[in-house]
Chain A
Amino acid sequence: MLPMDKYIAKLSGLILLLLASPLTYGQNLITRDEDWTAINIAVTDELIIPSYQNLESRSLELISATENFCSDLSALNLDSLKNSYQQSMLAWQAIQHIQFGPITYFNWNYRMHYWPDERGASGRQLDALIASQDESVLTSNAFPRQSVGVQGLPSLEKLLYDANALSDFRDNAYLCSLTTSISRNINEISFGVTQRWMDEYRALILDPVAGGFYENAEDLSIDFLKALQESIAKIRDLKLAPAIGESFVTTRTRSAESWRSESSLTNIKNNLNSAELLFTAYSSAFYEEDITAIVNVFSDLAVTLAALPDSMVTALTNEMQYAQLQTLHAEVEALHEALETALKNTDLYLGFNSLDGD
């Protein structure tokens, strides 16, 4: 992936090229298909594909770390495996916001990261699988057909971050077989998504109409913008609000994402970083005042996040940091509103019926 400054420099040329003279609100600032396509390709080549490639690389390291740990069940190797898990999770968090295209094939998105699991089904299924000691379901053919809840990153976190993980792994050889299957599964999904983006979806992006799926390049751009807006809503509604609760005395630590590995806020930092990069890429679609408003909220968020620890569990138990979490939630809400306003001021519509429930 390009470093942030080089990426921004590359995009800024494109943005300057596309910035139109002031128009009245309600007009689309990008009117030519080729201009949308230029941004779509830049996003695909500089953000999407490199992020999936990074996930694939991290998941290969995860397989190696799993093999090392399982060949020598030491505390040191467990720490190394946990670190490798963290790297894979961070790589996933950087591309989690893309919920269209290949990641939705074959339930790959849910198999990679089924969360939130409000009914705790994954934990029960994982326990049942361990109790079964059934090696036949762990083969590369059979494992992808098991419940999605046992296949991905949350199951790995549950296995590795249990307080008794080391002794459990030493007492139960099945845990190593299972961990190996999960690591390989994560790698296979990463590989599959990466290949599909490079081999198939990129061709759609180059020529959406000839690809036969999208109506035009703007239609495809709206998928990216929708991914951006929905990822902000997800941070607000799923990653922050349930854990923060109504007050300091009603917090719910276990509602936070990745609470076991205490990396909930690191996840959010990565999500927002990806959201900012995506917004920057499409900023020429928005009016200058709206861009300023959004950039300002991203700056506020960076300041707030810098003052918080990686662990939401820690932040939720400290009254001062709890107040900062509330600020964070309010700023994410402000970001969502600013994006909504910016979209409303153009004639780009993310959805009406698609957000309905009747």
Chain B
Amino acid sequence: MSSKIIQNLPRRSLLSLAVMLSLSPCLALSNDKAAPIFLSAATDSDDKHWLKAFTIENNQLTELYSHQLRARAHAATLSSKVDLFVAVARRPGRFMVLGDTLSGNILQEIEAPEGRHFYGHGVFSSDDEFFYTTESAYDDLQGDSGRIGVWRVNKSSTTVALERVNEFPSYGVGPHELLLMPDQETLVVANGGIRTHPESVREKLNIDSMQPSLVYINRSTGENLEQRSLPAEYHQASIRHLDINPQGQLAMSMQFEGEPFLRVPLLATHQRGEAIRPMLAPEQVQSQLSQYVGSIRYDESGRFLVASCPRANVLTFWDAGSGEFLNQVRARDACGVCAYKDGFLYSAGTGQLRYYDLPQQAIMNMTISEDFTTGLFWDNHLAAG
């Protein structure tokens, strides 16, 4: 694994950051005096795979560091203290890397246990003592093969490493994104419902019988606290991505594996103890989305949602409270989204990194070195701290 650390940057001390106990994996707080740090996986035109870090100060976007990875990663996750990051391999990959956010150094490359593969997502506990990953026990071709891997973050004065200490069921198949709820003890998991096997690469093996679900799990005991499904008619809507707002409302995005012409929700919200509330855009908008949402994120206030729809080349905006569709904006191949200032930063497979200002309803360009983004395809998700 090669490493390219960019030196002599106007770097703020990351360790002096106030502890940002944000629930969202991608909330670059505007009231924080330090510039935020963003992480994303990317692939270049030579088909090399990278993890890239950058920051934005005074509308100037600057690369911090870059690591070549052995294969595509899907999402990166920052620890609560923002001193560590983990980038997890894309389904059905079997590696993840742990790194030091300040130096950019890779501290450990971790293999999935025998018989497990990752789904590209993980989350730290709020005390940064544990890290949780969504996994598949892929040789179980009949049962609920989803697993939550439990990793202890072992820290000494000189080393930091993840150690596999436990696992528990995800109570479904194909768990994808998982997050920590505001009580800091409950994990919420999107069981996408799709069975895959590394030998079949990315082939989906159970589209007719898939049963996605949303599951709340006690992170200490592995107990299933609450499990919710979409109405039966939407059983082919694979729940993939999640976000939580400061009020504890959960938002989820789906990709529909059924017929391309059916009018089905691709977004929903949920409050514990209630039914899932699906959200639909007006017919002409909904039918253009190609049954696919890439990422979903709340804005900093938690009132608005952005859902990236890279197959439709749009970002869609929603009122999280009412569930109403508000607006859409053209953004070719945009997928990674992240709350930033009064709107969202987004990344695209075209190499673009841009800011959408919600009050002005306008895309804003930033100053970016051409060398940083030319020939680069940003992967699905942006993380920030």
Q: What residues of chain A have their CB less than 8 Å away from a CB belonging to chain B?
A: 26, 104-107, 110-111, 114, 148, 213-215, 219, 222, 344, 347, 349, 351-354, 356-358
In contact, B349 and A358 (Cβ under 8 angstroms): no
Cβ contacts B226-243/A at 8 Å (1 or 0 each): 000000000000001000
- With contacts A110-B260, A344-B45, A358-B91 known, is A349 near B377, CB below 8 A? yes
Q: Does B294 reach chain A (CB closer than 8 Å)?
A: yes
Task: Please name 10 pairs of A and B residues whose Cβ atoms are closer than 8 Å in the assembled complex, sorted by A.
Answer: A26-B375, A104-B288, A222-B332, A347-B375, A349-B377, A352-B333, A353-B377, A356-B294, A358-B91, A358-B240
CA distance A222 to B284 in the complex (A): 22
Q: How far is the CB of B314 from chain A (nearest CB, A)?
A: 9
- Nearest CB of chain B from residue A256's CB, rounded to whole Å: 21
A353 touches B330 (CB 8 A): no
The reply to whether A214 and B379 form a contact with Cβ atoms under 8 Å apart is no
Point out the residues of chain A lying under 8 angstroms from B310, CB to CB: 351, 353-354, 356
Question: How far apart are A9's CB and chain B's nearest CB, in angstroms?
Answer: 33
Cβ-based interface call for B97 (8 A)? no
- With a cutoff of 8 Å between Cβ atoms, the chain B residues found around residue A148 in the complex are 259, 261
Distance from A94 Cβ to chain B, minimum over Cβ atoms (Å): 22
Q: Which of B8-62 contact A (CB under 8 A)?
A: 43, 45
Q: Indicate if the CB atoms of A353 and B294 lie closer than 8 Å.
A: yes
Q: From the candidates A105, A114, A215, A351, name the one contacting B284 in the complex (CB within 8 A).
A: A105
Tell me, rounded to whole Å, the shortest Cβ–Cβ distance linking A98 to chain B.
15
Given contacts A213-B330, A351-B310, A353-B379, contact A358 B287 (CB under 8 A): no
Contacts of A356 in B (CB 8 A): 294, 310, 335, 380
Contacts of A105 in B (CB 8 A): 284, 287
With A110-B261, A358-B91 as contacts: A353 and B334 at CB distance below 8 Å: yes
Chain B residue at smallest Cβ distance from A356: B380
Please list the residues of chain B having a beta carbon within 8 angstroms of any beta carbon in chain A. Answer: 43, 45, 74, 90-91, 120, 176, 202, 240, 255, 259-261, 283-284, 287-288, 294, 308, 310-311, 313, 330-335, 348-351, 374-375, 377-380
Interchain CB contact under 8 A, B334 and A349: no
Closest B residue by C-beta to A208: B330
Contact B379 A219 (CB under 8 A): no
Bound-state Cα–Cα, A26 to B375, Å: 8
Q: Is the CB of B313 within 8 A of A352?
A: no
CA distance A353 to B331 in the complex (A): 12
- For the complex, what is the distance from the CA of A109 to the CA of B310, rounded to whole Å? 20
A354-B310, A358-B120, A358-B176 known; A215+B332 contact, CB < 8 A: yes
* Pair B330/A215 contact, Cβ less than 8 Å: yes
- A349→B349 contact, CB < 8 A: yes
Query: Which of chain B's residues have a CB closer than 8 A to the CB of A347?
Result: 374-375
Residues on the B chain within 8 Å of A219, using CB: 330, 332
Asked whether A353 and B333 contact (CB < 8 A) given A104-B287, A106-B287, A358-B380, the answer is: yes
Residue of A nearest to B311 (CB): A354
- Chain B neighbourhood of A222, CB < 8 A: 332
Closest Cβ–Cβ distance, residue B244 to chain A (whole Å): 20
Residue of chain B at shortest CB distance from A111? B261
Q: Which residues of B contact A349 (CB under 8 A)?
A: 333, 349-351, 377
Quote the shortest CB–CB distance from A58 to chain B (angstroms).
24
Q: How far is the CA of A215 from the CA of B377 in the complex (A)?
A: 18
Please tell me which one of the listed residues B91, B287, B313, B374 contacts residue A354 in the complex, with CB atoms under 8 A apart. Answer: B313
Whether A351 contacts B375 in the complex (CB less than 8 A), given A106-B287, A107-B261, A358-B74, comes out as no
A358 and B284 within 8 A (CB): no
In the complex, which residues of chain B have a beta carbon less than 8 angstroms from the beta carbon of A214?
A: 330
Q: Could you tell me if B90 and A358 are in contact, using CB atoms closer than 8 angstroms?
A: yes
Q: Which residues of A contact B288 (CB under 8 A)?
A: 104
* Alpha-carbon separation in the docked complex, A347 to B373 (Å): 11
CA distance in complex: A148, B334 (Å): 30
Chain A residues, Cβ within 8 Å of B260:
110
Q: Which residues of B contact A111 (CB under 8 A)?
A: 261
Cα of A349 to Cα of B284 in the assembled complex, Å = 26
Residues of B near A106 (CB, < 8 A) are 283-284, 287
| Residue of A104, A107, A352, A354 touching B43 (CB-CB under 8 A) | A352
**CA gap between A353 and B379 in the complex, in Å:** 7
Alpha-carbon distance A105/B331, docked complex (angstroms):
19
The residue of chain B having its C-beta at the shortest distance from the C-beta of A26 within the complex is B375
Known: A213-B330, A222-B332, A347-B374. A353 touches B261 (CB 8 A): no
How far is B284's CA from A106's CA once the two chains are assembled, in angstroms?
7
Q: Which residue of B lies closest to A212 (CB)?
A: B330
